[in-house]
Structures are given as C-alpha cells and as structure tokens.
Amino acid sequence: MVRPCLPALLDCTARTTMRALCALALLAATATMASATVINFAALQPYNSYAFIPNAVGSSGNPVIANDYGSTAQVTVGYRTFNNDASKTTFSSRLQLWNTGYSNLPAVVFSEGNGRGAEITLTPTTGFAVTLQSFQLGSYPASNGVGPNLTVPLLQVIDTATSAVVWSDNGRVVNTTQSLAPNVSSSSGLILQWGYNWNIGLNNLMFDAAPVGTTVVPVPPAIALFVGGLGLMGWVSRRRAV
C-alpha cells in the first residue's frame, strides 16, 4: 500500500482552497454593488427651530433648500404634505423641517401642519430601479432621548406604477428612535407616506439605485476588502507555484 506524502496532500489542499477563494473574489468583483444614499436632514443645520423643505426663499436665517434635496444622478427626491381625506389631496409641495426633540434624532421632517400626512417620493431615471432600504422615526417632545408613546396611523410605501401598497406598518408605536427597513424596489418610483401627527418625525432615509435587470449585492466595505485580499492571496500562491 502506497501512502500519499503529507506535504503533497497539504499542497493539493492549499491549491484547491486558493482556487475556491479566487472564484469567490471573482464573483464579488463582477456583482453589481449598491451604493446607498442617506438623507440626513441634520446636514441642513444651522437653521432656526424650524424651516421648510424645500425652501426657495431662505429667509429668517434659514437656508435655501432645493425642491429635490437629497436627489442623486439616478433618483429624484420629492416632498409633499397631503390632507387627511380619502384622496390624500395635496396641501403643499413641501414638508416641515425641525431641529432636536424627536426621540434622539438630531433633525426630522414631518407634515406642514398637524393632522396632515407627509410624503417623500423616490423616482428613478429611465433604466434604473430604486430601493428604499430604511429610515428612522422619532416622537416629540423627548426627554433624554425618549419621547411619548405615539401611534402612527398611516405608515406605508406605494409603488407609483400600480398605486399598490408594497410595504406597511400602520399602527406602529414610536417613543424611542425606531429604525425601519422596508427594503422594497421599483423601476417606476416609490412613495413613503406617514401621518397624521406632526409630533412624529423622520430622518436618515436610505435608498439606492441599480440598473434594471441586474442583481444588486450590497457588500460592506470591510467584506469587499476581505474578499479582495483572499483573491490576491490566491494569485500570489499561483505565481509561486509556476
């Protein structure tokens, strides 16, 4: 019986492992990476205790804020306040912007006037699909980062192509900062709606866009560097073997 040489077995195992790692690195390199955008309304500070978004005038110490604040090359962002009626008729094409006091959020947006609904629209450019990944809600007035228990009667995401609700969490109770992750996509557009209490505000809206028909693989930078390093190890091992 001929016993295999241990070094030969180790070398074979190492080469097999390196091939698998190289394949993994190639897969990660060829996948479509999602580049997320986060709209943090605290970035608009300094401003008075409240302002409006958009704000074309920029009066009373408040900055000028574009109609499509937060937009990217692939996604246009829009804002609206709507009435609490069956058709959700438009009250204004803006939201109210506030400083601190909503749980522990540094800034928030909400409807213009109490008893109305707030809306943020994400519209992708042709050939792209937008994904609403996450956002945060807080309640007012807060003490030490904790607000009163407030119920959100309306909290949903609508696909603009079909007007269908693709995600909802109606009736959620907010006191501390709530992080929600709808993770829904559309090639036509998404509408995030919440109401009807202006003591519930929103911040840190995260979304991304990718070409229609591609598989989006959101890879954190640390993992991407790790996989790339494994691929490099495999390449070096192969060079030494030649």
The ranges assigned to domains in the chain are 14-31+219-241, 37-211
**Residue-level pLDDT at 225:** 47
Cβ atoms 155, 118 nearer than 8 A: no
Tokens of 150: 């407030």
pLDDT tens track, the chain, 242 positions = 555 554 554 455 445 545 544 444 444 444 455 579 999 999 988 777 778 999 866 556 677 889 999 999 999 999 999 999 999 999 999 999 998 999 999 999 999 999 999 999 999 999 999 999 999 999 999 999 999 999 999 999 999 999 999 999 999 999 999 999 999 999 999 999 999 999 999 999 999 999 998 765 554 544 444 444 544 455 445 445 55
Q: What is the pLDDT of residue 6?
A: 47
Residue given tokens 């195992």 in the structure block: 13
Cα–Cα nearest to 187, from 168, 201, 166: 166
Burial category of 104 from C-beta neighbours within 10 Å (exposed 0-12, middle 13-18, buried 19 and up): middle
Cα–Cα distance for residue pair 178/201, rounded to 1 Å: 10
What is residue 24's predicted lDDT score, i.e. its pLDDT?
Answer: 41
Q: What is the pLDDT of residue 27?
A: 42
CA distances from 225 to 21, 37, 194 (A): 13, 21, 38
Fold assignment, 37-211: Jelly Rolls (2.60.120)
6-30 helix and 221-241 helix, angle to the nearest 10 degrees: 140
Q: Is the peptide bond before 124 cis (omega within 30 degrees of 0)?
A: no
**What pLDDT score does 20 carry?**
47
The values of phi and psi at residue 68, to 5°, are -110, 40
Please give the pLDDT value at position 5: 53
3-class SS string, the chain: CCCCCHHHHHHHHHHHHHHHHHHHHHHHHHCECCCCEEECHHHHCCCCCEEEECECCCCCCCCCECCCCCCCCCEEEEEEEECCCCCCCEEECCEEEECCCECCECCEEECCCCCCEEEEEEEECCCEEEEEEEEEEEECCCECCECCCEEECEEEEEECCCCEEEEECCCEEECCCEEECCCEEECCCEEEEEECCCCEEEEEEEEEEEECCCCECCCCHHHHHHHHHHHHHHHHHHHHHC
Cis peptide before 54 (omega within 30 of 0): yes
